[in-house]
Copies of this chain bind each other. A is one copy, B any other.
């Protein structure tokens, strides 16, 4: 039940925005009355917080898992591909709306998950740092800047994907090549 409530709330936030996510609306989606939610959660804030945490945690877990699934000596490009692929498909996947709720929250709430998100960013930072170490990534690039820039772009994907009708694979492929080689012709 707890899970269903979280899912319902996430669904609403993603589709209609944070301000549309009222206790009544959430309750209606799980066939309950608003008051009943308080049996499962202490407050609306608790629900949102849990969604936030669960979203990043799952995302983190999935990407980390994917990396672990690769042989130790896998080339950098493959590792990056894997990471981007999992990240994008998780964001878009129907199973877990939790993961792209973040974009829709008011700053006050966003701040609460900062630590978790930094941990996740660290995973990407490490991946890229490895790339630098192995000579695959240009050492001149400021990873401190690049990671949020890149992740930020990636996170906006679901919104315009619905409009453009692209598949998550197409998007992932675009993100990877663009990130690796840029758009300049004749490389």
Residue ID in chain B nearest A142 by CB atoms: B174
Q: Which of A54-62, A63-71, A91-99, A177-185 contacts B (4 or more CB under 8 A)?
A: A177-185
CB-defined interface of A130-154 with B at 8 Å, one 1/0 digit per residue?
A: 0110011111011011101110111
Contact in complex: B145, A16 (CB < 8 Å): no
Q: How many copies does the complex hold?
A: 4
Query: Which applies to chain A's interface (DSSP): helix, strand, loop or mixed?
Result: helix
Give chain A's interface residue range (CB within 8 Å of chain B): 35 or more
A159 with B170: in contact, given A19-B106, A106-B16, A138-B183 (CB under 8 Å)? no
Q: A174 to B90: give the CA distance in the assembly, Å.
A: 27
Contact in complex: B175, A137 (CB < 8 Å): no
- Which B residues are CB-close (under 8 A) to A146? 174, 178, 183
Residue ID in chain B nearest A109 by CB atoms: B17
6 closest Cβ pairs, A-B complex: A153-B153, A17-B106, A152-B156, A182-B182, A181-B182, A148-B160
